[in-house]
């Protein structure tokens, strides 16, 4: 509990000296807009009950009193009275709290090929389904590392959807609620051949892109076909460290992506590296197969291609990749905005059969926060 | 068919003079990367079969020949030979073709309260389901105006999902595959009261936000409860026209959104106005109820609030809104990244029962392009 040592106010601003000697200066409009009283906020779901236009543009602080450990602020015109818990103000005021972006690189554990010498994050399906603590650990792995391996998912068609039901919802697409990844006759996608696939994200041609992907191994008796994962956030960091101008080119200039077959014509325009307003990486798209005609201004083509090649080269560095053989019954759940996946080519003899599905990150993060709240 | 009048080349660049006297200058790396030969591109789905790193960094043009109306380009090192259809080059080369962003404001019909004096875009459900031309017109209305009214959707629970099946897929969320909008006891959301709701987008606290929303009227016998729609792209344009600095503040600085109840804790960080790399508006978020604590740097608070208030004021202008009473059996399908919705308060007497559902824009745009291709 952080107490207020002293405070002062003018019409425009409230100044607080906290007991740790730090200071806050909070503007009248922000204070009124963040009133926690039941007339301003629904106490059950936090929904704000007033519009910004309900607050007079010339709002001022008329009086401030500290009473029973609550800071009472009276506003003018209108005479609205707000009571603030000092602890809430300390933890939420804009001059001492930076905004958090759960999806950004900040706070994540960035990893490379040697990071998981003690083993990758994993959990047995049954445990994950029945024990909240295990489920919390699995979801935290997706948040922090971008992936988790789930063992012993029953080797039956469609059972990967049971895993999605543990935290969120299926993102159905033109590929179905789930889809089979195996060698097909007349494949509509290179994924359905036995060719190797370089590190890529799925569906960059979709907006919104599916934030989560699952791959569930049903059969694996071919030579080859190993799975590869790579941390795109580390790759982006390497690019920025090695050449900030390359990073800036790929994050500032957008390109078009496209996939077109008999049933679908999907197009999106987006950057290869997406950053937020604080230049933190929040999302990558990379898939050489799906980049549509690159239409940048002529003066940019000469500088964009070396930047694009540089990122592609980083994504081919063995030292950044983990390689493993997905065993029948194993499933990988990964963040399709951060973790790239690839597979090695495999033999025509034997069978390699995976099932894939998509989901969204919002449901996973919501479940994670509720589990954390329950565990706290 | 556009022919080539003459051409010249250096190691770095191919220069073309088209028969309309315009000129193109195309770099060697771009030409090689956009090779259309079956060894470089899958002819069925357009997927690129090579990585950028498969192309030598020192790629040069070794020779160019025009033969049988095809431009043959030989590259070095490696000796790869590409044949380009001049028509394809003319329509796709970067120095004469600007990239298109289907989702951006560019090319849309921006509307206000008097734009639909001849009636809003609408279609009967049965016609839309059975006739490709009618379905195409309905999907074009969503693309161009951001919404369409579908008449005579059977007044049965869940039938709004039939409408989604005409073009795409349901986005299931913590609210279900669809949800009921009517007065509830102990509502977890203000939507489930009889209070009026100002113009807003749904679920700004979700990432990805659902790109499409449907509202299907099952019963409507209350006083009040009229529906309101507003074009957010026009509102953003007004903001930019009236005060470019306000527009820049809202598009450059991101804020946090949140919704939290017993089952979910959804959070997102995003700008109120999202623009692409060419500063075209592509997506809005606005919902006073769901804006979380605003944590901008102190020096920005003073300038951000007037910009936020300005946008809110524009969104309250009656002249920009269309007001209508959704009749039982009617459904509105609208772009939740562009078109805001609102409702007037309604009486406790009588019943107002809507069902809502979400979908994504990618499926709708894909279906639209396939229908356009079939109609062409």
Strand locations in B36-93, DSSP E?
60-67, 70-76, 81-84
- Pick from B100, B170, B309: CB nearest A57: B309
Question: Closest residue of B to A172, CA-based?
Answer: B169
- Pick from B52, B102, B301: CB nearest A312: B52
| B47 near A CB under 8 A | yes
Give SS3 for B51.
Answer: coil
Strand locations in B98-184, DSSP E?
122-124, 147-151, 179-181
| CA dist., res. A158 & res. A355, Å (int) | 8
Q: Maximum CA pair distance of chain A?
A: 81
The tally of CA atoms less than 13 A away on the side-chain side of residue B278 is: 17
Residue A248: the pLDDT is 98
For residue A232, the distance in angstroms to the closest alpha carbon of chain B comes to: 17
Decide if B103 and A260 are in contact by the 8 Å CB cutoff.
no
Q: Which two tokens stand for residue A76?
A: 């003018």
Residues of B in contact with A258 (CB under 8 A): 46
- Pick from A277, A316, A363: CB nearest B271: A277
Give the list of residues 6+ apart from residue A160 with CB closer than 8 angstroms, or none.
A153, A178, A214, A216, A331, A355, A356, A357
- Which is nearest to A342 in space by CA: A108, A123, A113? A113
ipTM of model over 0.90: yes
| Residue numbers in chain B where pLDDT is lower than 70 | none
Decide if B48 and A361 are in contact by the 8 Å CB cutoff.
no
Residues of B in contact with A46 (CB under 8 A): 258-260, 292
| B319 near A CB under 8 A | no
Decide if A29 and B98 are in contact by the 8 Å CB cutoff.
no
- Pick from B99, B207, B256: CB nearest A295: B99
Decide if B264 and A366 are in contact by the 8 Å CB cutoff.
yes
| Residue numbers in chain A where pLDDT is lower than 70 | none
| CA dist., res. B291 & res. A131, Å (int) | 34
Strand locations in B85-169, DSSP E?
122-124, 147-151
Residue B353: the pLDDT is 95
- Pick from B57, B98, B362: CB nearest A266: B362
Decide if B259 and A34 are in contact by the 8 Å CB cutoff.
no
| B269 near A CB under 8 A | yes
Pairing of strands B122-124, B147-151: parallel
For residue A359, the distance in angstroms to the closest alpha carbon of chain B comes to: 10
| B34 near A CB under 8 A | yes
Residues of A in contact with B301 (CB under 8 A): 27, 29-30, 94
Give the list of residues 6+ apart from residue B28 with CB closer than 8 angstroms, or none.
B11, B12, B13, B14, B59, B60, B61, B75
Listed by number, the residues of chain A in 127-166 with a beta carbon closer than 8 Å to a beta carbon of chain B are none
| Angle at which helices B361-375 and B132-144 cross, to 10° | 130
Residue A100: the pLDDT is 86
Give the list of residues 6+ apart from residue A67 with CB closer than 8 angstroms, or none.
none
Residue A188: the pLDDT is 78
**φ/ψ of residue A156, rounded to 5:** -130, 145
| A39 near B CB under 8 A | no
**The residue count for chain B:** 376
Residues of B in contact with A363 (CB under 8 A): 173-174
Query: Model's pTM, two decimal places?
Result: 0.96
Instruction: For A207-264, write each residue's pLDDT tens digit.
Output: 999 999 999 999 999 999 999 999 999 999 999 999 999 999 999 999 999 999 999 9
Q: Which of A36, A40, A51 to mutate to test binding with chain B, by most B CBs within 10 Å of its CB?
A: A51
Residue A212 burial by CB count (10 A; 0-12/13-18/19+): exposed, middle or buried?
A: buried
Give the list of residues 6+ apart from residue A267 with CB closer than 8 angstroms, or none.
A205, A256, A257, A258, A292, B102, B365, B369
Residue B311: the pLDDT is 98
Listed by number, the residues of chain B in 6-25 with a beta carbon closer than 8 Å to a beta carbon of chain A are 25
| CA dist., res. A124 & res. A56, Å (int) | 57
Inter-residue contact B217 to B329 (CB < 8 Å): yes
């Amino acid at each position: 509990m952080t107490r207020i040592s002293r405070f002062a106010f003018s019409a425009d601003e409230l100044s607080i000296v906290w007991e740790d000697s730090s200071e806050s200066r909070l503007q009248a409009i922000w204070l009124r807009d963040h009133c926690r009283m039941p007339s301003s906020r629904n106490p059950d779901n936090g929904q704000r009950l007033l519009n910004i236009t309900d607050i007079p543009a010339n709002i001022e602080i008329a009086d401030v009193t500290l009473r029973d450990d609550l800071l009472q602020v009276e506003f003018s015109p209108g005479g609205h009275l707000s009571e603030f818990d000092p602890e809430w103000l300390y933890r939420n005021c804009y001059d001492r709290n930076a905004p958090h972006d759960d999806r950004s690189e900040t706070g994540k554990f960035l990893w490379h090929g040697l990071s998981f010498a003690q083993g990758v994050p994993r959990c047995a399906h049954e445990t994950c389904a029945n024990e909240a603590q295990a489920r919390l650990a699995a979801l935290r792995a997706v948040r922090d590392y971008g992936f988790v391996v789930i063992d012993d998912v029953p080797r039956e068609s469609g059972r990967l959807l049971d895993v999605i039901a543990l935290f969120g919802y299926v993102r159905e697409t033109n590929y179905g609620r789930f889809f089979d990844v195996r060698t097909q006759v007349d494949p509509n996608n290179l994924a359905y051949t036995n060719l190797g696939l370089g590190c890529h994200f799925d569906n960059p041609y979709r907006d919104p892109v599916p934030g989560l992907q699952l791959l569930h191994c049903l059969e694996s008796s071919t030579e080859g076909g190993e799975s590869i994962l790579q941390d795109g956030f580390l790759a982006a960091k390497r690019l920025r460290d090695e050449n900030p101008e390359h990073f800036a080119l790929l994050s500032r200039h957008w390109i078009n992506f496209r996939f077109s077959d008999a049933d679908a014509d999907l197009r999106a325009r987006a950057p290869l590296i997406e950053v937020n307003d604080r230049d933190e990486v929040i999302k990558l798209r990379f898939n050489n197969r799906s980049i549509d005609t690159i239409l940048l201004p002529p003066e940019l083509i000469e500088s964009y291609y070396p930047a694009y090649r540089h990122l592609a080269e980083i994504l081919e560095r063995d030292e950044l990749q983990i390689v493993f053989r997905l065993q029948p019954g194993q499933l990988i759940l990964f963040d399709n905005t951060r973790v790239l996946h690839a597979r090695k080519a495999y033999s025509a003899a034997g069978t390699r059969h995976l099932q894939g599905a998509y989901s969204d990150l919002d449901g996973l993060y919501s479940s994670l926060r509720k589990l954390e709240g329950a565990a706290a």
